[in-house]
Amino acid sequence: MAGMTITEKIMAKHSGRKHVQPGENIWVDVDILMTHDVCGPGTIGIFHEKFGRNAKVWDKERVVIIPDHYIFTADQKCHRNVQILRDFVREQGLPYYYDPEFVKNELGMPNPYLDPNKTTYKGVCHKALPEEGHVRPGEILLGTDSHTCTAGAFGQFATGVGNTDAAFTLGTGKTWLKVPPTMKFEFHGEIPPYLTAKDLILLVIGEIGVAGATYKTMYFAGQGIRSLTLEDRMTLTNMAIEAGGKNGVCDVDEKTLQYVRHRSRIKNWEVFTDDANAQYCYEKQWDLSTIEPLVAKPHSPDNRDTARNCRDIKVDQAYIGSCTGGKITDMIFAASILKGREVKVPTYVVPGSTEVHSDMKRLNLVGAEKGPNEKSIEDILLDAGCKVGPSGCSACLGGPPDTFGRLGGTEVCISTTNRNFPGRMGSMQAAVYLASPLTVAASALTGHITDPREYVVKPIQTGMAGVL
Amino acid sequence: MQTIIRGKVFVLGDNIDTDQIIPAKFLSYNPSDPEERKYFGMYAMDGVPAGQSGLPGGNTRFVRPNEFKSDYAIVLGGKNFGCGSSREHAPLAIAEAGARVVLAEFYARIFFRNCVNGGYLVPCETVERLVEKTQTGDELIVDIDNCLVTNVTRNTTHQLKPLGDVKPIIEAGGVFQYAREAGMLKPA
């Protein structure tokens, strides 16, 4: 019998079977279901319609609701949508809800939290899920957001679903899945200081195209992946969807276990590995020393080029944020280039979560607790002329017209986000280049797309930032 | 399930993402509210760049300004239709505008799932690429049981791929109805 991959083993376990193979349709038990303010109201509506007004969710310990998309906007419908989540949480008695308590039923823009340590609000769901201990190896996570695949970095099966699927799972704890075949992307060597996982995933997507992994698992393997921080691995799996992938997955190692042990209340989970005779539908290997800093040009994440080739592209705006590029290590990457310098173009910084925002105030440039006379990461970014906004999805997906950092005209923007579809950041006339936080920071300094090797002269230490 | 759908076709290109189908700024409407739900019809395909909207000529809106319903019962795309965000608002918007079937070479998986499980649209895969062989406004007959699409305007017939594993769910009208019929859920 053929061996199985991590994804196949997780699916087999959750369907009560010893063996599954790609192409089979199976019903699985779901460990965690996550929704947010954009898809929650629709999901809740379908749940009530299909299961009845007095129905209860299948397991309230397994439902996580994280408002993150449209929080800092005066759009009253957005405030109302947060209230729909609150009403559902109260009705169901759900323990895992992260309320933006400053969003009140009042006209106008809500006042953001003053202290990121003193709010129940978290920010981007894909960052908050592992932070709050809802992500464990070997589990199945569904979320009403395509970037739910981010959590595959922790050795689990995580994928995005729509409102109907989410409502079905809310009532039953189950969903049907087709077992995907696995593509294996193997990286050798150690990550060089001028690259981040963003460059690796842009390399992969450029290689296979935006539909290259449709219906498939993207498995990121090798010493090169082990050399990445856990946060950087999340950047890889986050963008599996940009190649059409059903999920992305990484091996579990000591970095994963350290993080999950520290965060998860549930202490038992199962670590799966690929069998030696596991079957792959595609295999490709790279040596990290041969890779250059990359960008994805407008208007597609697979429109790959080197940052070097794009040096004549003038930029009007830079954006550092999102589930892809708004983690604390991303902030350290950017700050290490911006330190003591001044940005030439408006540069918007959006922490991925309130924990990231808190760490930006708490930590120094090497990810350690800052001393009394030392600059914090946020200080360094502010000193360089960046505008720092409150945590959330913000302008990554455009959002309502009053969203922080949103594009409104014919700007050229270089961004650490994940999508550059037409209109994605708010303007159909704008052009978005996707790049690593290093490349975005370097480009913000010069006003044109800039290879970060011009600025990165030594390894960037991130210490325990984003871990403990 | 309606197995023969006749109507005008709206033609799009490749990689039509869900931000084009329904831009993020409209996602504050609640699809569970019957009054607000109508606006997804009004803004369906609002994010498609003008030159690509209604091929081959472009500059044709799927839904006329300030109207809730489209003249087109059928949408035709190329490769990777519905990629990007998992927003179920996308198939919902197309259906709310009045279309009943989408034809494309292949789909992004979450969009496909949402069409099927939510019972919004029948997502048919074409055997050959039809984008360049079809013009927006052509009259089509889609025969789902026989896997055929007839272009009445051009007097041509093309094959569709069988719906396969998802056909029982589509026939039931969505995953809830399917699971009830299969005895997995109690009757509502």
Interface size between A and B, measured as CB pairs under 8 A? 144
**Residue in chain A nearest B111 by alpha carbon:** A162
Residues A457, A438: contact at Cβ < 8 Å?
no
Note whether B30 contacts A77, CB cutoff 8 Å.
Answer: yes
Strands (DSSP E) contained in B31-175 are 72-76, 101-104, 122-125, 139-143, 148-151, 156-159
Question: At A2, is the pLDDT very low, low, confident or very high (cuts 50, 70, 90)?
Answer: confident
CA-based nearest residue to A73, from A394, A353, A427: A394
| Distances A235 to A198, A250, A374, B46 between C-alpha atoms, Å | 6, 11, 29, 30
Tokens of B75: 């949408």
| Distances A62 to A106, A120, A126 between C-alpha atoms, Å | 32, 19, 16
Residues A233, A126: contact at Cβ < 8 Å?
no
Q: What is the CATH number of the domain that holds B60?
A: 3.20.19.10
Chain A partners of B86 at a C-beta cutoff of 8 Å?
39, 144-146, 148, 160-162
Does residue B48 belong to any structural domain of this protein?
Answer: yes
Selected residue of B22, B109, B116, B121 to mutate for chain A interface (largest A Cβ count, 10 A): B109
CA-based nearest residue to A286, from A209, A409, A186: A186
> Residue B160 has what DSSP assignment?
B
Tokens of A234: 């999340």
Computed over every residue of chain A, the mean pLDDT equals: 97
CA-based nearest residue to A36, from A26, A48, A44: A44
> Which of B15, B28, B85 shows the shortest C-beta gap to A300?
B15
CA-based nearest residue to A299, from A198, A436, A404, A430: A430
A13 and chain B in contact, CB less than 8 A? no
The better pLDDT of the pair B187, A417 is held by: A417
Does residue B178 belong to any structural domain of this protein?
Answer: no
Does residue B185 belong to any structural domain of this protein?
Answer: no
User: Beta partners for A32?
Assistant: A141
Note whether B165 contacts A25, CB cutoff 8 Å.
Answer: yes
Query: CA–CA separation, A418 vs A255, rounded Å?
Result: 24
Note whether B28 contacts A160, CB cutoff 8 Å.
Answer: no
Q: At a CB cut-off of 8 Å and minimum separation 6, what does A239 contact?
A: A201, A202, A205, A248, A301, A324, A418
Note whether A400 contacts B28, CB cutoff 8 Å.
Answer: yes
Domain with CATH 3.30.499.10 in chain A: 1-291, 295-454
> Which of A45, A78, A424 shows the shortest C-beta gap to B19?
A424
pLDDT exceeds cutoff 80 at B1: no
A324 and chain B in contact, CB less than 8 A? no
Average pLDDT over residues A69-81: 97
Note whether B80 contacts A210, CB cutoff 8 Å.
Answer: yes
Place of tokens 């003053």: A114
**Residue in chain A nearest B119 by alpha carbon:** A164
Strand A25-29 to A174-178 pairing: antiparallel
pLDDT in tens, A376-427: 999 999 999 999 999 999 999 999 999 999 999 999 999 999 999 999 999 9
Selected residue of A164, A403, A410 to mutate for chain B interface (largest B Cβ count, 10 A): A164
Distance (Å) from the C-alpha of residue B153 to the closest C-alpha of chain A? 32
Selected residue of B12, B85, B112, B120 to mutate for chain A interface (largest A Cβ count, 10 A): B85
* pLDDT value for B187: 67
Q: Is B9 helix (H, G, I), strand (E, B) or coil?
A: strand
Residues B97, B70: contact at Cβ < 8 Å?
yes
Q: Class of the A295-454 domain? A: alpha beta
> How remote is the C-alpha of A377 from its chain's centroid?
20
Tokens of B148: 């055929």
* pLDDT value for B2: 83
* pLDDT value for B163: 96
CATH superfamily to which A1-291 belongs: Aconitase, domain 3 (3.30.499.10)
Selected residue of A79, A216, A419, A421 to mutate for chain B interface (largest B Cβ count, 10 A): A421
Distance (Å) from the C-alpha of residue A337 to the closest C-alpha of chain B? 31
> Which of A39, A84, A421 shows the shortest C-beta gap to B17?
A421
Please, which residues 167-196 of chain A have a Cβ atom closer than 8 Å to chain B?
168, 171-172, 176, 178
* pLDDT value for A116: 98
Note whether A168 contacts B19, CB cutoff 8 Å.
Answer: no
Note whether B176 contacts A399, CB cutoff 8 Å.
Answer: no
CA-based nearest residue to A403, from A14, A71, A128: A71
* pLDDT value for A113: 97
A70 and chain B in contact, CB less than 8 A? yes
Chain A partners of B167 at a C-beta cutoff of 8 Å?
none
A52 and chain B in contact, CB less than 8 A? yes
Q: Is B129 exposed, middle or buried (0-12, 13-18, 19+ CB in 10 A)?
A: middle
pLDDT in tens, B57-70: 999 999 999 999 99
Place of tokens 């050229």: A412
> Which of A163, A300, A399 shows the shortest C-beta gap to B24?
A399
Chain B partners of A300 at a C-beta cutoff of 8 Å?
15
Range of the domain at B53: 4-163
Place of tokens 């947010």: A36
* pLDDT value for B64: 98
A83 and chain B in contact, CB less than 8 A? no
Number of domains in chain B: 1
> Residue A252 has what DSSP assignment?
-
Does residue B169 belong to any structural domain of this protein?
Answer: no
Query: CA–CA separation, A314 vs A311, rounded Å?
Result: 8
User: Beta partners for A294?
Assistant: A306
Question: At A298, is the pLDDT very low, low, confident or very high (cuts 50, 70, 90)?
Answer: very high
Note whether A41 contacts B79, CB cutoff 8 Å.
Answer: no
B1 and chain A in contact, CB less than 8 A? no
Note whether A426 contacts B25, CB cutoff 8 Å.
Answer: yes
* pLDDT value for B42: 98
Distance (Å) from the C-alpha of residue A398 to the closest C-alpha of chain B? 6
Least confident of A226-235, A438-447, B167-176, B178-187: B178-187
* pLDDT value for A67: 98
* pLDDT value for A107: 93
Asked whether the whole model's pTM tops 0.90, one would answer yes
B110 and chain A in contact, CB less than 8 A? yes
Please, which residues 336-395 of chain A have a Cβ atom closer than 8 Å to chain B?
none
Chain A partners of B119 at a C-beta cutoff of 8 Å?
164
Task: Please give the span between the terminal C-alpha atoms of chain A, in angstroms, as a whole number.
Answer: 42
pLDDT in tens, A201-247: 999 999 999 999 999 999 999 999 999 999 999 999 999 999 999 99
* pLDDT value for B188: 58
Instruction: Calculate the CA dihedral of residues A284, A289, A293, A294 and round it to 10 degrees.
Output: -10
Note whether B84 contacts A146, CB cutoff 8 Å.
Answer: yes
> Which of A42, A69, A397 shows the shortest C-beta gap to B30?
A42
A45 and chain B in contact, CB less than 8 A? yes
